[in-house]
Amino acid sequence: MARDIPDATVARLPIYRLSLVDLMADGAETVSSAALAERAGVNAAKVRKDLSFLGTYGVRGVGYDVKLLLGQIGDALGLDVVAPVVIVGMGNLGQALARYGGFLSRGFPIVALVDASAEKVGSEVDGITVSHIDELPELVRDLEIAIGIIATPSSAAQEVADVLVEAGVGSILSFAPTVLQVPDSVPLRKVDLATELQILGYYQQREAGPETDADKSA
């Protein structure tokens, strides 16, 4: 079992996974690093280096077995372990995420929805009844929730993050446009539309930008 994969590589594994799923749908049984690189939008050396962190599964002169590689990436990402998700904040974005999340591959089931407003509590979104935010700690414990998604206004985000951490959530994904303070032991990732637009604005200004990477995150 491969441990301690560089952050930059981890951020690319889901992209390789996506490409491999497509390849498998196309009936491919093996794939070369060059072909995978093309699909994933990176260069071949990077693909080989990245995959080498998972252990070695390529066959020289042939390439990688698509199915096997998919399994290896899934193992590395821990996709075999189900990680229940709660979405906090049932505004436009939270509701959209709840419905959108329904399409997510098995592994990240949305098991609870939470909001602070009396109007929303009790209503159903995508088949799940919205609970009051005061019940969050209880929900996290009872449903063994691993990931908390914050889709509240900025003003409430830190408070929600504190509750999630306190309740024992394993990691947090925030859509609130604010910086959150959480213990180092809780992985936190942030997605913010305004930030993304501003970054694009910079590159646009001076014609010709880089070619993405996102992940930039880790």
Partner DNA sequence: CCCTGTGAAGCAGTTCACAGCG
Partner DNA sequence: CGCTGTGAACTGCTTCACAGGG
- Residues 62-121 close enough to bind DNA by CB under 7 A: 62-64
> Residue 151 corresponds to which tokens in the numbers above?
């889709």
Contact letters for DNA, residues 157-196 (x by CB under 7 A): ----------------------------------------
Nearest to 157 by CA among 187, 140, 133, 185: 133
Q: How far is the CB of 19 from DNA (least distance, A)?
A: 13
Q: How far is the CB of 61 from its own copies (least distance, A)?
A: 27
Q: How far is the CB of 120 from its own copies (least distance, A)?
A: 15
3-state class (DSSP) for residue 105? coil
Q: Alpha-carbon distance 76 to 17, whole Å? A: 11
21 binds, among DNA, its own copies, none (CB under 5 to 8 A by kind): none
Q: Alpha-carbon distance 189 to 218, whole Å? A: 7
45 binds, among its own copies, DNA, none (CB under 5 to 8 A by kind): DNA
104 binds its own copies (CB under 8 A): yes
Q: Which of residues 108-167 bind its own copies (CB under 8 A)?
A: 108, 146-147
- R_g of the chain computed on alpha carbons: 20
Q: Which of residues 156-215 bind its own copies (CB under 8 A)?
A: 170-173, 177-181, 184-215
Taking the chain, what is the end-to-end CA distance rounded to the nearest angstrom? Answer: 21
Q: Alpha-carbon distance 29 to 50, whole Å? A: 20
Window of 25-33, 56-64, 92-100, 130-138 that interacts with its own copies by CB under 8 A:
92-100
Q: Alpha-carbon distance 100 to 66, whole Å? A: 27
| 191 burial level (CB within 10 Å; 0-12, 13-18, 19+) | middle
Nearest to 191 by CA among 144, 150, 148: 150
Give how far Cα 71 sits from Cα of 32, 52, 163, 190, Å: 17, 14, 35, 27
Q: Which of residues 120-149 bind DNA (CB under 7 A)?
A: none
Q: Which of residues 8-27 bind its own copies (CB under 8 A)?
A: 8, 10-11, 13-15, 17-19
156 binds, among DNA, its own copies, none (CB under 5 to 8 A by kind): none
User: With respect to DNA, which residue has the nearer C-beta, 55 or 168?
Assistant: 55
Q: How far is the CB of 48 from its own copies (least distance, A)?
A: 18
